[in-house]
Amino acid sequence: MRLKQISERLSLQPVNATEEMLSADVTGGYISDLLSDVMANAERGTLWITLQTHENIVAVAVLKELAGVVIVNGRRPSEEAVEKALQEGVPLFVTPLSGFEVAGRLYMLFHAEEIQG
């Protein structure tokens, strides 16, 4: 599923995303606020849901080749994070929704058929 489709369906607000970034393919999601956990367990191509806002999230996203980062609970990424994300081409999104809401909706997008039975 394209990042653009997901951000529209979940009403995620892009912070820095260009059309090119939004055309990227997303393979799933991962939710965690522990950076070592994301380093160890997130799979490449997944959308990372977190409440962390500092610049190290960009390095994690680059090293793990994540599809992007969704910052939840109405938090905003730090200026440094936004700047780094622009340099590295990592799409950042913000949303007033909680991690539970974002993860639930994302899961529905990927698994709608199974859930409806």
Partner 1 sequence: MSSHRQIKEGSFHILGGDFANAGEASTSIKRELLEMGVEEDTIRRVSIATFEAEMNIIIYATAGIIRYTITPEEVIIIAEDMGPGIEDIELAMQEGYSTAPDWVREMGWGAGMGLPNMKKNSDVFKIDSVVGEGTRVDMIIKRRRNETEADQ
Q: In what order do the strands lie in the sheet with 28-31?
A: 13-14, 92-94, 68-71, 46-50, 28-31
Residue whose CB is less far from partner 1, 64 or 97: 64
Residues 6 or more apart whose Cβ sits within 8 Å of residue 58: 69, 81, 84, 85, 88, 90
Site string for partner 1, 32-61 (x = CB under 8 A): -xxxxx-xx---x-----x-x-xxx-xxx-
Residue whose CB is less far from partner 1, 58 or 92: 58
Q: Which residues bind partner 1 (CB under 8 A)?
A: 33-37, 39-40, 44, 50, 52, 54-56, 58-60, 62-64, 80
